[in-house]
C-alpha cells in the first residue's frame, strides 16, 4: 500500500470512529421510538391474531403518515448542521421556529387522513373485524400528531447541532411510559374498559405527548441550547426560512412516503388473504423496522457530519464522511443478516405463539436478511445527499425503484399467476429486495457524482 493510499485509509478509519459515537445515541433514540410499535405488536398479539392484524393494518396507514411528516421536518437537520458548521448557530433557533409554520398544515392533514382511514379499509374490502380495530386505533393515535411534529422539530434542531444525547434519553424514558399505558388501555386496568388493539393507539398518543413535553423542557432549560435563540421571539435574523424548509424537506418526505406507501399497500393487498398472512407479514415488517434503525441512525450521523463539513467548506471531508458511512452501514448489515438467518424461528416466536404464523414469518425473514444490504446502502447514500442539500433527484430515483419496479413486480408475483402460482407475502418481499437494490445503485451513483462535483468545483475547500 502506497503512503497516499495508507493515509486515505487512515482518514477513512478516523471518520468511521467519529460516526459511531454520534450514531449510537441516535440509534438509542430511534429504537425507543420503534419500541412503541414493537410493544404494540407484541402486546396486541398476546390478545388475538385479529387484534394483531388490526394494529398491523392500522400501522400500514400510520407508518406513511408518520414518515412523511418526519421526512419534511428532517430538512431542519442538514440546514441546522450547515449553519452551525458556518458559525451561525444563533440562526438555528429562528429556523426551527419557522418549521412550526410548515408543520401546522401537515399536522391538520395528517389528522384528517388518520380519522378517515375507515373509508380506505372498506374500499380495500378488509375483514370487518380487522378494519374496525384498525380504524379506531388510528383515531386514537391521531391525538398525538401535534406532539409528534413538535418533537421532530426540536429533535432535528438538537441533532443538527450534534447534540444527540437528549433525544436518546427522552426516547428511553418513553418506553416504560408506553408499556404501562399499553397495559392499562389494552387489558382494561384502573377502571377503564379493555380496548385490545385499539388501546395501543391511545398508549402511543400519550407517549408522544410525554416525549414532546420532555424535549421542550430540555431546549428551554439546558444552557447549550441558549445559543440557538429558539425561545427568543425577538430574534428573527437569518436567511433560511419556511420556503427553504419546504423546498428541501418536501422531496425527503415524498421519498420516504414512496417507500413507506409500498409497505402500506402490501399490508392492504394481503388483508383479503386472512389474518395469518397479515400477521406473519407484520412480524417480518416489525422486525425489519427494528433492524433498520441501525443503518438509519448511522445515516442521521452521516447527514450531520456532511452538513458540518459543507458549512466549513470542507468538501473533501464531506465526501470522506459519505464513504465511511456507507462502509459502516454495509459492514453492520452483514452481521445483522447472518443473525437473522440463524435465529429466524426464534425471532418469529417473540411475536406470536401461532405455529402457522411462525412458519410463514420464518420464510419471509430469510428474504429480509438478503435485503438488509441494499437497504443499508441506499439509506446511507440518501442521507449523505441530504447533507449536501440534494433531495429532488433522489426523490425521482426512489420513485423509479419502488413504484416503477418494486410494487408492480410484487403485485404480479404475490397475487397473480403471471410468473406461476401466486406467492402471497413472499412475492412482495422478493420485489422489495429488487427495488431496494435498484435504489442503492441509483443513489450511490448520484452520491459519487455530487461528491466529486463539489470537490472539483471548490478546489480550495
pLDDT tens, position by position, 230-278? 887 766 665 557 888 898 889 988 888 887 777 767 877 877 777 777 7
pTM of the model: 0.81
Pick from 215, 136, 218: nearest CA to 174: 215
Task: Summarize the confidence of residues 62-76 as an average pLDDT.
Answer: 87
Q: Does residue 55 fall inside a structural domain?
A: yes
Q: Does residue 153 fall inside a structural domain?
A: yes
Which residue did the predictor score with more confidence, 379 or 22? 379
Q: What is the pLDDT of residue 244?
A: 86
Confidence of residue 461 (pLDDT cuts 50, 70, 90): very low
Q: Does residue 3 fall inside a structural domain?
A: no
pLDDT tens, position by position, 384-437? 999 898 988 999 998 999 888 988 898 888 888 778 777 877 888 888 889 999
Q: Does residue 6 fall inside a structural domain?
A: no
Q: Does residue 277 fall inside a structural domain?
A: yes
Number of domains into which the chain is organized: 1
Q: Does residue 162 fall inside a structural domain?
A: yes
Q: What is the pLDDT of residue 216?
A: 94
Separation of alpha carbons 152 and 73, rounded Å: 7
**Structural domain range at position 311:** 12-457
Q: What is the pLDDT of residue 9?
A: 74
- Percent of the chain whose pLDDT exceeds 90: 27
Task: Summarize the confidence of residues 360-365 as an average pLDDT.
Answer: 88
Amino acid at each position: 500500500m502506497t503512503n497516499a493510499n495508507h493515509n486515505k485509509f487512515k482518514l477513512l478509519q478516523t471518520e468511521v470512529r467519529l460516526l459511531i459515537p454520534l450514531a449510537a445515541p441516535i440509534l438509542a433514540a430511534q429504537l425507543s421510538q420503534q419500541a412503541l410499535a414493537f410493544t404494540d405488536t407484541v402486546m396486541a398479539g398476546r390478545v388475538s391474531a385479529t387484534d394483531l392484524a388490526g394494529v398491523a393494518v392500522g400501522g400500514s396507514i400510520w407508518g406513511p403518515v408518520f414518515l412523511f411528516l418526519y421526512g419534511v421536518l428532517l430538512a431542519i437537520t442538514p440546514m441546522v448542521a450547515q449553519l452551525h458548521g458556518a458559525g451561525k448557530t444563533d440562526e438555528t433557533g429562528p429556523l426551527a421556529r419557522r418549521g412550526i409554520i410548515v408543520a401546522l398544515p401537515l399536522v391538520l392533514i395528517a389528522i384528517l387522513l388518520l380519522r378517515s382511514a375507515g373509508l380506505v379499509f372498506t374500499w380495500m374490502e378488509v375483514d370487518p373485524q380487522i378494519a374496525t380495530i384498525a380504524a379506531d386505533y388510528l383515531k386514537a393515535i391521531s391525538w398525538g400528531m401535534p406532539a409528534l411534529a413538535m418533537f421532530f422539530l426540536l429533535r432535528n434542531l438538537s441533532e443538527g447541532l450534534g447534540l444527540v444525547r437528549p433525544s436518546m434519553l427522552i426516547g428511553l424514558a418513553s418506553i416504560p411510559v408506553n408499556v404501562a399505558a399499553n397495559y392499562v388501555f389494552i387489558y382494561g386496568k384502573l377502571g377503564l374498559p379493555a380496548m385490545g388493539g385499539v388501546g395501543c393507539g391511545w398508549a402511543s398518543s400519550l407517549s408522544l405527548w410525554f416525549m414532546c413535553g420532555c424535549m421542550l423542557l430540555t431546549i428551554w432549560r439546558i444552557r447549550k441550547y441558549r445559543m440557538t435563540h429558539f425561545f427568543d421571539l425577538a430574534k428573527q435574523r437569518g436567511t433560511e426560512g419556511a420556503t427553504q424548509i419546504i423546498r428541501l424537506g418536501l422531496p425527503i418526505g415524498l421519498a420516504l412516503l414512496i417507500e413507506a406507501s409500498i409497505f402500506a399497500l402490501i399490508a392492504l393487498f394481503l388483508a383479503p388473504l386472512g389474518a395469518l398472512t397479515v400477521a406473519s407479514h407484520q412480524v417480518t415488517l416489525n422486525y425489519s423496522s427494528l433492524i433498520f434503525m441501525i443503518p438509519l441512525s448511522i445515516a442521521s450521523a452521516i447527514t450531520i457530519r456532511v452538513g458540518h463539513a459543507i458549512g466549513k467548506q470542507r468538501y473533501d471531508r464531506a465526501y470522506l464522511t459519505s464513504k465511511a458511512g456507507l462502509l459502516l452501514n454495509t459492514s453492520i448489515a452483514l452481521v445483522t443478516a447472518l443473525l437473522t438467518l440463524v435465529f429466524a424461528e426464534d425471532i418469529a416466536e417473540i411475536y406470536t405463539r401461532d405455529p402457522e404464523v411462525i412458519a410463514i414469518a420464518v420464510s419471509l425473514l430469510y428474504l429480509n436478511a438478503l435485503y438488509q444490504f441494499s437497504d443499508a446502502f441506499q439509506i446511507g447514500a440518501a442521507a449523505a445527499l441530504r447533507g449536501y442539500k440534494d433531495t429532488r433527484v433522489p426523490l425521482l430515483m426512489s420513485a423509479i425503484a419502488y413504484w416503477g419496479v418494486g410494487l408492480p413486480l410484487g403485485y404480479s408475483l404475490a397475487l397473480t399467476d403471471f410468473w406461476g402460482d401466486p406467492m402471497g407475502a413472499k412475492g412482495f418481499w422478493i420485489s422489495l429486495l429488487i427495488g431496494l437494490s435498484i435504489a442503492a445503485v441509483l443513489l450511490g451513483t448520484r452520491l459519487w457524482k455530487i461528491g466529486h462535483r463539489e470537490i472539483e468545483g471548490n478546489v480550495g475547500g
